[in-house]
Structure 1
Amino acid sequence: MFKLSEENIQPFRLQEALHNEKAGGYVSFEGWVRNHNLGKKVTKLEYEAYPSLAIKEAKQILEEAKQKFSILDAHCVHRVGSLDIGKIAVWIGVNSIHRGPAFLACEYIIDEFKLRVPIWKKEHYVDGDSGWVKCHHCHEKHKA
């Protein structure tokens, strides 16, 4: 399950959908809006997406994670629109029979999302400037 949302992400509600009697492990990741990046003070973020392609690619990544790590299920919600400092920008939840695959799948999903899903982040800075940013460390990781 993947969803783009203009509403605040509520992790506890999302976690409920992953309860499964077969699952022995559950791992989640929350990406939060922080107040700085690359030496600049950030006041807020904006996310824009190409919805049809983002949903298609996100579902593909979740399916890849299921196959690659033998997990039971994986869900993700990503915000779009304007987000204040401290808000959750992305949430990922993974369940599996054992904890190890859930940890690996969760990391795989966030890294692949940052690399492949057409969602763009614009940072607004204290000095009034703003700019679109990309995930440099994700791109570097894939070059290695």
Structure 2
Amino acid sequence: MLGLKQSELASKASITRSVLLGLERPSRKLPDNSALFHLRAAIDAEGLSLLDATENVGEGVRWKEPSGKLWVDCLRHGRAMLGYSLDDLAEKSGVGRYVIARVESGKLRRTPEQSVRRLRDALFEQGVIILNEDEHVGAGVRLRFGFGNKDLSAPGVRPSE
């Protein structure tokens, strides 16, 4: 979300790139708490809030303050949370990979409303909530399931348009 290279983020966190890569691996064992502290502080200093998992919802990330970004701007981050390629999301959503790439680039004059809704819905079905920006916090993404592993498909969880 910050648009930083791994080496840039590692430098801001005063850790090595290899330590950062280790922290990003899903198969990691117990990570170094000092490295996590420094990484979280660097991300926080750049304007993002890391959202902890609860019993009801999973972890996530969002801008600490309103940034003018729309929920559409977070589709790429939702795809990244799932580890999906463009082809994976195209298969799940029925939206072509070229359209997804164009939407994610943010270089469209007009947003294809039906396509972005299908992308948001596909991400939701796969376990990602796109968080809307409001007057207090910015947009972001969050995993739908917390450590209580409850289905959160109740009204109000799916982001408003």
**TM-score with structure 1 setting the length:** 0.30
Higher helix proportion (structure 1 or 2)? 2
Higher strand proportion (structure 1 or 2)? 1
User: Does 1 or 2 have the higher relative contact order (CA < 8 Å, sep 6+)?
Assistant: 1
